[in-house]
Chain A
Amino acid sequence: MARMTRKQLYLEAEQARRVSRRAQAEGVPEADVIRRALDAGLNVLERSPEERREAAFARLLARARAMAAQSPVGAARPVTRAALHARRGTP
């Protein structure tokens, strides 16, 4: 195990709930969940702009390809740009 350093910090209530839920689901200590989440978050933050762009484009394409691999659905009535701007309300 890597050498540990003690840190004290406050979590937002929702963060604490998510950590607790994840730890219970996996049967691991909450500290383990927090350490892994920190690694994942810092890996993203430390990427260069070009790496982030590449990763985002890869996600964009993967999502579109995954949707294309699903069964087609009935075509929606084509929506015009003007109609999009005329709409109101929350989707």
Chain B
Amino acid sequence: MTRVFVDTGIFVAAHDRGDPERQARAIHVLEALHERHEVVVSSQVLAEVFAAVTSGVGAPLPASAAADLVADVSEAATVVSVTQAVVTFAIEVMARHGLDLWQAQALATAHLEGARVLLTDGPRGGAELDGVRVVNPLTADFDAKLLE
């Protein structure tokens, strides 16, 4: 069972009726993860999911529904905190990999938590950064074997 860090955009896309094709891909990714992998998220992801689904999607969710969604993500995944070590590592790698702080924090968390794969719709898809394979699973040519 591979440890896979799942970034904010994947959960948001799965709940965004503004882009049905992307939504279908995101749901497919969650199904694949459910069957075979340990999903890891950070406290940063939980907060960003709440913020995005209540204001950054085609049909925003009420706060109470978004809270239920965040609660389910929290229970379905292993939740890790954004610690001082994560922030320090993120600051170190952001310039080296051309990432903003928030993306670098996702990478740093994945790295420090031993996740081999970072699923994200952010930059650097296809790259191997600090031992973490960065994969954008919302592209048309995504192959679930990349999670192995």
- Report A's interface with B, CB cutoff 8 A: 52-53, 55-57, 59-61, 63-65, 67-68, 70-76, 78-79, 81-85, 87, 90-91
The total of Cβ contacts below 8 Å across the A-B interface reads 95
Contact A75 B27 (CB under 8 A): no
CA distance A71 to B56 in the complex (A): 18
For B, the interface residue count at a CB cutoff of 8 angstroms equals 41
Query: What are the interface flags for B15-35 relative to A under an 8 Å C-beta threshold, 1 for contact and 0 otherwise?
Result: 111111001101100110010
Contact A79 B55 (CB under 8 A): yes
The smallest beta-carbon distance between A62 and chain B, in angstroms, is: 10
State whether the Cβ of B58 lies closer than 8 Å to any Cβ in chain A. Answer: yes
Given known contacts A76-B56, A87-B51, is B18 in contact with A56 (CB within 8 Å)? no
CA distance A82 to B132 in the complex (A): 22
Contact B54 A72 (CB under 8 A): no
Given known contacts A52-B75, A56-B75, A57-B76, is B23 in contact with A74 (CB within 8 Å)? no
Contact A91 B23 (CB under 8 A): no
Contact A81 B18 (CB under 8 A): no
The smallest beta-carbon distance between B77 and chain A, in angstroms, is: 8
Contact B48 A81 (CB under 8 A): yes
State whether the Cβ of B128 lies closer than 8 Å to any Cβ in chain A. Answer: no
